[in-house]
Amino acid sequence: MAFTFQINNDLKFNHDEVLLRKSEENRPDIKIETITPTRMVDVVEDETKLNGISVVTSEKDVMSLKDYGLMRDDKLILDFGDHRVGTFQMDIDQTGSPMDAPLYMRLKFAEMPAELAAESADYDGWLSRSWIQEELIHIDELPVTLKLPRRYSFRYVEIKVIDTSPKWQAVFSNPVVMTETTADYSRLQPLELEDVELQKIYNVGVKTLADCMQDVFEDGPKRDRRLWLGDLRLQALANYATFDQTDLVKRCLYLFAGMTTEEGKISANVFVKPQNVPDDTFLFEYSLFFISTLYDLHQAHPDIELVKELYPIAKKQMDITLGMFDENGKLVPDEDYPVFVDWSNEFNKDTAGQAEVIYVLKQFIALAEQTGDMDIASYQNQLYKISNYAKDQLFDSEKRLFVTTGGEYNIASQVWMVLAHVMSDEENKAIMQSMIEKLFPVKNIATPYMYHHIVEALFEAGLKEEAVRLMKDYWGKMIALGADTYWEAFDPDHPDYSPYGSPIVNSYCHAWSCTPVYLIKKYLVDAQQ
């Protein structure tokens, strides 16, 4: 998530036990499946793949795994055939002379081949080393069934024997992963698309979403493994388009609703293990997206009781936000409650933030209508003022682009103003065409999260062809580079870029990237029906 750590650990939080109990009641069962490896592989250089690394089928036969005795520094790599999230176990025995020393071994779990080529000792990034998925294990007595207690996110498992003794070899057999997900595949009616490329993009998106559907909608099953509100909004939309499991969305909404600050503000993310704890990180529009997520749920599965129940919390977020506007209707950003828009801090976010408020305020007013809120006129007035400020002060009619404080024209401003439908449909189309003309090709945007909003804005502006092209150029390129699931970060101009300095802490299955399943269904399939 954001590059800057917020520390607000003196804050006190409400714990609404009624809402938190409802979050428990909506907890779906975790489904477990046992998967065996399909082959053994060797790491090879391949400049067409991520970081120039790929794998090829090994000469070693996975069906004969137990015939290979491993000594000091020997290793082998198991391929479980696709991205997996779950626990790992295998049997270990020894061959040769009696076991005259412990076995010391390393297990390395990799989502992508690039991780197999990186050594944890070389990692010196700012992000915690503790995310590196490797375990160093001593075993004093063999045979044993090694059952690792932790959950991993991976396709490949490298087994490396650090040492036995010169007298005996370690032997491995029956490796399995017990996959975990709350996604219910029996509910999924996969789309069948004529466009083979889009079909692949869709399929990988479904897998990405499913592997992030755990006890909550996790942002990434490898890292950070927690519920972020901005990510939840996109996951929920992707979910309605696929598995359509409302219980998990409700669980997550109740979690955020049940743990607000004393002021009433919702955290950007929450933890649920070993107990429910809200993080002390706050992002401006992530709090607001509580409203969006509630709105989207009600659109997908109308539930007026739920809307009424959570409306006061939604309203609180909007009220906090509206307090951040000046008398002219201009957002005055607060660096302690930062506008996110995207990871990068290299562009001005004022106009995009203003647009996000308009986007959400419209949804909020729709909910206010449903609940019969007597204050609705006030919100409508605010919407009018804020929208007018955007149209009058932030739109450069000559360039047909929105401008930010400091005179910057950036993609995010155009995208969010279009998504917020501040201007007419014709004007939106013109803005997007102007953006394509003046600001494309996209540069220095490294997240599927921002790409999602660009593509959606193109669709919303009626530029379907351009939207599909960008989707194929971005998500299709991840697949071409070897993705089994979509990544947390990807800049097509710098495919090897890691925000953390090493692929071993990158998350290669990250929920905010799964949205092609939603975009394809909404704008390409449903729109044609």
Point out which residues bind a second copy (CB under 8 A): 5, 7-9, 72, 96-104, 121, 126-132, 135-136, 138, 140-143, 150, 162-167, 224, 226, 271, 273-274, 277-280
Min separation Cβ 291 and a second copy, Å:
24
Min separation Cβ 224 and a second copy, Å:
7
Cα dihedral across residues 436, 442, 446, 448: positive or negative: positive
Q: How far is 322 from 342, CA to CA, in rounded Å?
A: 21
**Distance of CA 132 to CAs 110, 115, 153, 315, 373, Å?**
9, 10, 11, 40, 49
Q: How far is 434 from 400, CA to CA, in rounded Å?
A: 6
Min separation Cβ 9 and a second copy, Å:
5
Nearest C-alpha neighbor of 156 from the set 425, 503, 524, 526: 503
Min separation Cβ 512 and a second copy, Å:
17
Residues 6+ apart with CB under 8 A from 268: 1, 228, 229, 230, 279, 281, 282, 283, 286, 287
77 in Cβ contact with 41 (< 8 Å): yes
Min separation Cβ 96 and a second copy, Å:
6
CB nearer a second copy, residue 148 or residue 430: 148
CB nearer a second copy, residue 132 or residue 415: 132
SS3 content of the chain, % helix, strand, coil (to 5): 40, 20, 40
Min separation Cβ 112 and a second copy, Å:
20
CB nearer a second copy, residue 206 or residue 270: 270
Q: How far is 13 from 163, CA to CA, in rounded Å?
A: 49
Nearest C-alpha neighbor of 452 from the set 179, 102, 158, 205: 205
Min separation Cβ 249 and a second copy, Å:
23
CB nearer a second copy, residue 95 or residue 203: 95
CB nearer a second copy, residue 167 or residue 443: 167
Q: Residue 37 corresponds to which amino acid?
A: P
CB nearer a second copy, residue 272 or residue 454: 272
CB nearer a second copy, residue 157 or residue 524: 157
How many Cα atoms occupy the beta-carbon half-sphere of 259 within 13 Å? Answer: 27
CB nearer a second copy, residue 126 or residue 384: 126
356 sits in which H/E element: helix 350-371
Min separation Cβ 135 and a second copy, Å:
7
Phi, psi of 176, rounded to the nearest 5 degrees: -145, 150
